[in-house]
Amino acid sequence: MTSPLRLAVLGAWHVHAKDYARAADEHPGTALIAGWDDDGARGADLAAAHGVEATTDLDALLSRPDLDAVTVTTATRDHDAVIGAALAAGKHVFTEKLLSPTLAGCDALIRAAEEAADGSGVVLTVSLPRLAHGYARAVRELLDQQALGRLTYSRVRLSHNGAIGDWLPARFYDAEEALGGVFIDLGAHPMYLTQLILGTEFTSVTSTFTDVTGRGVEDGASVAVTTEDGAIGVIEASFVTGRSHFTLEIHGTEGSLLYGVGAPRLQRGTADGWRDVHLPPNDPHPFAQWIEAIRGGTRTPENLERARALTRLATAAYASER
């Protein structure tokens, strides 16, 4: 393992490719050395922006002994093949959600990470960044304390104007490459936050998708889930909202939590009224946690469990819509 860790970006398909390239440039323990994409022009643009080598030969890049790790921002359709190739080459992997479009794919990649590098394993991590935010840490602590009593309802909504503002790349509406629309991409965040709140086991998943802009995939989505003990969760995502918007609400038999309603603060409601909840600082970004795990020779098992659960919920939501 080199010092600093030498990284490559695999895929300039996703809008976050540039963010992870920048993270590799800026993190004191990493250095970006190359960018790959099967679309030569797209990969060259990303590599040129960071002054590194561009290539369309994935096998040659992954065979480099001076390459330690990769970030994967390909089309979701290509995750199994590209992540699988990186793991087989013994490289640590940080990837955009979803890890894989299928549970079988998730299991195969997690197993491959454990068996990589001649059995010593490599660190595989999926970017679930909102779990590191201070409000999520506070919510988790209050729920662990059962401060709201028995949970009865949650709603998490995340939206922006990517479709009506026409700033998202056209490939985000390609059902073959993206495997869906807003729900599989932006909707991943309210999905894993809902799982943080209500757990990962649901007795029903019911989806409503709309295509306001006529691009052929959903640009608005609302998915209702229910738990065995009767709680309802509503997961919403939209590319057709005039302003970016994030709200979270949780209700139980003994109180409520609201975040983002009117202001970016967490409020707790009880019989005595509403008060602000102190927010702890954000945890390090998942990219930094990944680097720390590589350096420390540890794994990220909770992250992978949540990534697997995220794929399970996403596939159930699309099955419901079909």
What per-residue confidence (pLDDT) applies to 244?
83
Q: Could you state, in order of their start, the residue ranges of all structural domains in the chain? A: 5-129+285-299, 134-281
Give the pLDDT band of residue 15 (cuts 50, 70, 90): very high
pLDDT digits (tens, 9 = 90+) for 192-229: 999 999 999 999 999 999 999 999 999 999 999 999 99
pLDDT digits (tens, 9 = 90+) for 36-65: 999 999 999 999 999 999 999 999 999 999
Please answer whether residues 187 and 178 qualify as being in contact, where contact means their C-beta atoms are separated by less than 8 angstroms.
no
pLDDT digits (tens, 9 = 90+) for 163-173: 999 999 999 99
- Average of pLDDT values for 129-146? 97
Q: Which of helix, strand or coil describes residue 87?
A: helix
- Tell me: pLDDT of 1 over 80: no
Using alpha carbons, select from 203, 208, 230 the residue that is nearest to residue 313.
Answer: 203
Class of the 5-129+285-299 domain? alpha beta
Strand order through the sheet with 151-159 = 204-210, 220-226, 232-238, 151-159, 245-252, 255-259, 266-270, 273-276
Strand order through the sheet with 5-10 = 53-55, 30-36, 5-10, 69-72, 92-95, 124-126
What per-residue confidence (pLDDT) applies to 268?
96
| CB crowding 212-243: b at 16 or more within 10 Å, else e | ebebebbbbbbbbbebeeebbbbbbbbbbbee
Q: Is the dihedral angle over the CA atoms 200, 11, 284, 4 positive or is it negative? A: positive
Using alpha carbons, select from 29, 30, 26, 23 the residue that is nearest to residue 7.
Answer: 30
* Mean pLDDT estimate for the chain: 96
Could you tell me the pTM of the whole model?
0.96
- Tell me: pLDDT of 261 over 90: no
User: What is d(CA 297, CA 277) in angstroms, rounded to the nearest whole number?
Assistant: 36
User: What is d(CA 256, CA 229) in angstroms, rounded to the nearest whole number?
Assistant: 18
pLDDT greater at residue 263 or residue 154: 154
Please answer whether residues 181 and 215 qualify as being in contact, where contact means their C-beta atoms are separated by less than 8 angstroms.
yes
Give the pLDDT band of residue 2 (cuts 50, 70, 90): confident
pLDDT digits (tens, 9 = 90+) for 92-124: 999 999 999 999 999 999 999 999 999 999 999
> How many angstroms separate the most distant Cα atoms in the chain?
64
Q: Which two tokens stand for residue 60?
A: 């040659």
Strands (E), 12-86: 30-36, 53-55, 69-72
- Average of pLDDT values for 75-98? 97
Measured CA distances, 255 to 141, 235, 264, 268 (Å): 15, 20, 19, 7
What per-residue confidence (pLDDT) applies to 246?
96
Least confident of 75-84, 140-149, 254-263, 294-303: 254-263
Could you tell me which CATH number the domain at 134-281 has? Answer: 3.30.360.10
Name every residue whose Cβ is closer than 8 Å to that of residue 147 and which is 6 or more positions away in sequence.
254, 255, 268
- Average of pLDDT values for 315-322? 97
What per-residue confidence (pLDDT) applies to 281?
96
Q: What percent of the chain has pLDDT over 90?
A: 96
